[in-house]
């Protein structure tokens, strides 16, 4: 049997990645499974080492980290036979873990997922594509992108609290923006505070911005938050964790396969900065071989 290739971000989740890596290798030893490990503190170095390997030599590619690690690994191997060649197993060890959440992975016991990888056959799931760059969960622009921009400049606090503080700091100065949006060839102009294009249903560590998004249906869900007073925004915001915000009259959900967004804004995907608008977003149907656990 061929070996498994393990790539890990030891610094993800404020050091959680290092602990999960150790537990993963212990479990693989228990299974008497062969493996090769790529784990450095430099993402660029890890990705370069990944690309030096022929993925056809391995049985599985196991990714330990958060959404950012998954995002970069998927893009690093996008031109190789992993699409849809060897299966990619997600072992969540980050702060948000929203792609793992979309797959139904066990977030509290990340190593438990390995049992599924070895016991069951993988299936194919969709991958989003924005301006040629692949993403697993959500691509978004507007207020949340500005929050990301501010949070990325902050050295304190750590983890999700950084984004909560950045949101509080950014909201008083935020103004809705005008966008030209095209969905499957039909275009319209609108004012919006936030636009999220979803392959998976959540981002930001479980915020179900598009609660009905399905990672296997070949279609993207688009959530548009039209302008609301800032006090109303703060009242709506907690509902995003249950997905009940979509019943608000200023929240619009559209579905499509190709979305173009034009306007003066920055776009993020999987928590990673992509580019300013305009952006073209599509879905690569059944592009990734992996495992899901939805009962």
**∠103-107-108 over CA atoms, to 5°?**
155
Q: What is the pLDDT of residue 149?
A: 84
Number of domains in the chain: 2
Whether residue 203 is contained in a domain is answered as: yes
Range of the domain at 26: 3-121
212 close to 186: Cβ distance less than 8 angstroms: no
CATH number of the domain that 84 lies in?
3.40.50.10330
Q: Does residue 52 sit in the same domain as residue 148?
A: no
Report yes or no on whether pTM surpasses 0.95.
no
pLDDT tens column, 155-208: 777 767 777 788 888 888 899 999 999 999 999 999 999 999 999 999 988 999
Query: Could you tell me which residues come within 8 angstroms of residue 6 by beta carbon, excluding any fewer than 6 positions away?
Result: 21, 24, 25, 28, 35, 36, 37, 38, 39, 62, 64
pLDDT tens column, 114-156: 999 999 999 999 999 999 999 999 999 999 888 888 887 877 7
Q: Residue 293 pLDDT more than 80?
A: yes
Query: Could you tell me which residues come within 8 angstroms of residue 257 by beta carbon, excluding any fewer than 6 positions away?
Result: 184, 218, 219, 220, 282, 283
Query: Could you tell me which residues come within 8 angstroms of residue 54 by beta carbon, excluding any fewer than 6 positions away?
Result: none
Q: What is the pLDDT of residue 252?
A: 97
Q: Does residue 171 sit in the same domain as residue 47?
A: no
Whether residue 130 is contained in a domain is answered as: no
User: Backbone phi, then psi, for 60, in 5-degree steps?
Assistant: -145, 155
Q: Residue 100 pLDDT more than 90?
A: yes
Q: What is the pLDDT of residue 42?
A: 87
Instruction: Examine the fold and report which residue of 91, 121, 151 is the final residue of a domain before the chain moves on.
Output: 121
Q: How many residues does the chain have?
A: 295
Instruction: Examine the fold and report which residue of 94, 121, 148 is the final residue of a domain before the chain moves on.
Output: 121
């Amino acid at each position: 049997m061929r070996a498994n290739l393990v790539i890990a971000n030891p610094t993800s989740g404020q050091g959680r990645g290092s602990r999960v890596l150790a537990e993963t290798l212990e479990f693989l030893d228990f299974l008497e499974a062969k493996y090769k490990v790529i784990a450095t503190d430099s993402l660029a170095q890890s990705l370069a080492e990944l690309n030096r390997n022929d993925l056809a030599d391995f049985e599985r590619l196991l990714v330990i980290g958060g959404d950012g690690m998954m995002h970069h690994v998927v893009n690093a191997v996008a031109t190789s036979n992993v699409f849809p060649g060897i299966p990619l197993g997600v072992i969540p060890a980050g702060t948000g873990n929203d792609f793992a959440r979309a797959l139904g992975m066990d977030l509290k016991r990340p190593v438990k997922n390995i049992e599924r990888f070895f016991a069951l056959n993988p299936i194919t799931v969709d991958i989003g594509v924005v301006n040629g760059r692949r993403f697993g969960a959500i691509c978004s622009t507007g207020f949340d992108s500005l929050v990301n921009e501010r949070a990325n400049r902050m050295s304190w606090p750590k983890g999700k609290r950084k984004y909560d503080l950045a949101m509080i700091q950014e909201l008083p100065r935020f103004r809705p923006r005008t966008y030209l949006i095209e969905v499957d060839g039909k275009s319209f102009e609108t004012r919006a505070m936030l636009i999220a294009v979803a392959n998976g249903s959540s981002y930001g560590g479980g915020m179900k911005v598009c609660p009905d998004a399905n990672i296997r249906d070949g279609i993207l869900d688009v959530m548009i938050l039209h302008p609301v007073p800032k006090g109303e925004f703060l009242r709506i915001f907690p509902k995003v964790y249950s997905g009940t915000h979509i019943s608000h009259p200023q929240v619009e959900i559209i579905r499509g396969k190709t979305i173009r967004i034009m306007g003066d804004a920055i776009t993020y995907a999987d928590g990673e900065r992509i580019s300013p608008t305009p952006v073209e977003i599509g879905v690569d149907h059944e592009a990734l071989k992996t495992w899901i656990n939805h009962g």
